[in-house]
Amino acid sequence: MAQQAGTTPRQTQGAPAARLARWALCAVITVTALVALAACSNSSDPVGNVGSGPATGNATKIEAVDGNRFTPATLELPAAGEKVTIEITNTDDRAHDFAIEAADLNTGTIQAGAVATATFTVPEGTTAFKCTFHRGMTGTMEGI
């Protein structure tokens, strides 16, 4: 399209509807990119009786390690109904969290090299725990 005298190239780039469509497409792409970045941020909020830093007193210790796994993967805890504290150390170079859905508990994000604690009442039977950031990063605990 030839530029009309006295107009700028921007004014001759198409009808208002076409400009609006281009603007809408740019907006959709921007919002999609922001949502994708947020989903990859690996962060969670603390829920339950949790804290940051090493535990004071007795605590069962576990580590989030390279390879998206917990070690040990099985925790033997006191009898069901007793209160316990777990100290989770992140020795990996990526962020993790420690969540027990049955206890409505999540440490929130544990950055690389950081330590978190979780205090809760031991549930009956075998209970699963996991990192909500990494599929397959799971373990179990059982009262003895």
Segments making up each domain of the chain, as ranges: 9-39, 49-143
Q: How far apart are CA 103 and CA 122, in angstroms?
A: 8
Mean pLDDT (the chain, rounded): 86
For the whole model, what pTM was predicted? 0.71
Q: Tell me what percent of the residues of the chain surpass a pLDDT of 90.
A: 65
Superfamily of domain 49-143: Cupredoxins -  blue copper proteins (2.60.40.420)
Q: How far apart are CA 77 and CA 111, in angstroms?
A: 25
Neighbouring CB atoms inside 10 A of 31's CB total: 10
> Which residue did the predictor score with more confidence, 78 or 71?
71
pLDDT number for residue 37: 42
Q: Which residues 6+ apart lie within 8 Å of 42 measured at CB?
A: 94, 95, 109, 133
Q: How far apart are CA 131 and CA 56, in angstroms?
A: 23
Q: Where does the pLDDT of residue 111 fall: very low under 50, low under 70, confident under 90, or very high at 90 and above?
A: very high
pLDDT number for residue 38: 42
Range 46-74 average pLDDT: 96
Q: Exposed (0-12), middle (13-18) or buried (19+): which is 87, by Cβ within 10 Å?
A: buried
pLDDT number for residue 17: 78
pLDDT number for residue 1: 52
